[in-house]
Structure 1
């Protein structure tokens, strides 16, 4: 399974169409991918598992989200004022 995910990550070009977010504004999709990546990372780190499965969400996040938005969220995370549940 890890090889399959790594192959997908290596061949990654852009975020595929996701019918839950059909509109052009992808802010909610960006937010969800950001939360899912950090939840996955936290869970896998806690369980001592392989975090390569989480890399897919990180690739989607980097492809979809503006860098300024992600850096703002990272700053909030560092300050302890992040509004999401991770």
Structure 2
């Protein structure tokens, strides 16, 4: 049952279990996936590669994170005041 990344993204329903974040509180999981998405986009864009694999992180953080947080982080990214290291 070897699925390609594209198949996994297409069949995505909700965020799977992540052993790095075993507790009920998923705040860190949310923030980490937001960072991973933007780091992935930055790294693959710099190499002129397809950024489709990064969609996985985006779907995960959009299913876990409150919309207000994502909106605030997006504004901070635009203003250059985002506290995370991307």
1:5, distance to aligned residue in structure 2 (A): 1.1
Q: For residue 72 of structure 1, what is the aligned residue in structure 2? A: 72
1:7, distance to aligned residue in structure 2 (A): 0.7
- The CA distance in 2 between the partners of 1:82 and 1:42, in whole Å, is 15
The structure 1 segments of at least 4 consecutive aligned residues displaced by more than 2 Å after TM superposition are none
Say which SS state the counterpart of residue 49 (structure 2) adopts.
coil
Say which SS state the counterpart of residue 13 (structure 1) adopts.
coil
- The CA distance in 2 between the partners of 1:19 and 1:40, in whole Å, is 20
Q: For residue 38 of structure 2, what is the aligned residue in structure 1? A: 38
Say which SS state the counterpart of residue 56 (structure 2) adopts.
helix
Instruction: Give me the TM-score of the superposition, normalised by structure 1.
Output: 0.93
RMSD: 1.1
Counterparts of 1:48-67 in structure 2 under 5 Å? Answer: 48-67=48-67
Say which SS state the counterpart of residue 4 (structure 2) adopts.
helix
Structure with more of its chain in helix, by fraction: 1
Gaps of 5+ in 1: none
Q: Deviations over 1:35-83 (max 9, x none)?
A: 0100000011110001011111111111111111000000111111000
Instruction: Give me the TM-score of the superposition, normalised by structure 2.
Output: 0.93
Gaps of 5+ in 2: none
